[in-house]
Amino acid sequence: MDEYKNIYVEEDDGIAFITIDRPSKLNALNRETIAELHEAFKELDEDREIRVIIITGSGEKAFVAGADISEFSDFSVKEGGALAAKGQEVLFDFIENLSTPVIAAVNGFALGGGLELAMACHFRIASHNAKMGLPEVSLGVIPGYGGTQRLPQLVGKGKAMEMIMTAGMINAEEAKSYGLVNHMVAQEELLDYCESIARKIIKNSGVAIAAAIRAINAGYKDGMDGYRAEIEAFGNCFGTEDFKEGTTAFLEKRKADFPGK
């Protein structure tokens, strides 16, 4: 695993933990951190032994408190557009379409780019002290890393409009009631809880999970027929070793022993 300046990666029996480690900046995303995250996710996704990735922030205050505003406060229109396009391509869309399941362990503030990062993950689990929001309009800009698209998908158009227009924060309990996070737990239990879910995922077929991710995402993409994508992915599963093992194990009344992804 590469050495990184702003993040660190740990591995434990099929699970990788990525921790964003810029505590003095409340783990804010700068261009260097985004590039490092891309490399880490790419490398882990290519590692057949890694079956689930959990991402969190260092310390007890923040998951990611936003983007590093000092990097782009003097950008032009063209530079601003390029910033959003590149960020979406190399990190946010990249995570959403990753074949390896990604869980966001939201351990504090997840604001702006931080909430957008969490929303790009396949699902989210929050600590009781987590606070989430998209405050960009208070700076005269809008969310640029997919926030205007993913938030309505997760919480509905009206609630997303309110959150973005008010630039306010919601707490973990509200986030759970909106469907923005799946579970809410005490901060000291957060990573263990995420790992317990990851262990359940690992028992299943990594090949089938990757196909399910692609099929689910297809239903949210313009110009794609999610049902057609599901039919195709379903059919392709019949040609995999995982399908043979899964069905044989079921008929033999034993637990399936799936290989790596």
- Residues serving a catalytic function are 116, 136
Question: Letter for the amino acid at 159?
Answer: K
Encoding tokens for residue 8?
Answer: 């660190």
Question: Letter for the amino acid at 229?
Answer: A
- Cβ proximity of 142 and 164 under 8 Å: yes
Q: Could you give the CA distance from residue 121 to residue 77 in angstroms, rounded to a whole number? A: 28
Phi, psi of 2 (to 5 degrees): -65, 155
Question: What's 8-55 look like in SS3?
Answer: EEEEECCEEEEEECCHHHCCCECHHHHHHHHHHHHHHHHCCCCCEEEE
8 strand-pairing partners: 19
Q: Could you give the CA distance from residue 226 to residue 75 in angstroms, rounded to a whole number? A: 38
99 strand-pairing partners: none
Q: Could you give the CA distance from residue 211 to residue 216 in angstroms, rounded to a whole number? A: 9
- Cβ proximity of 17 and 65 under 8 Å: no
- Cβ proximity of 52 and 103 under 8 Å: yes
Kindly list the distances between the CA atom of residue 228 and the CA atoms of 44, 198, 211, 224, in Å, as whole numbers in the listed order: 29, 29, 13, 8
Q: Containing H/E element for 183? A: strand 183-185
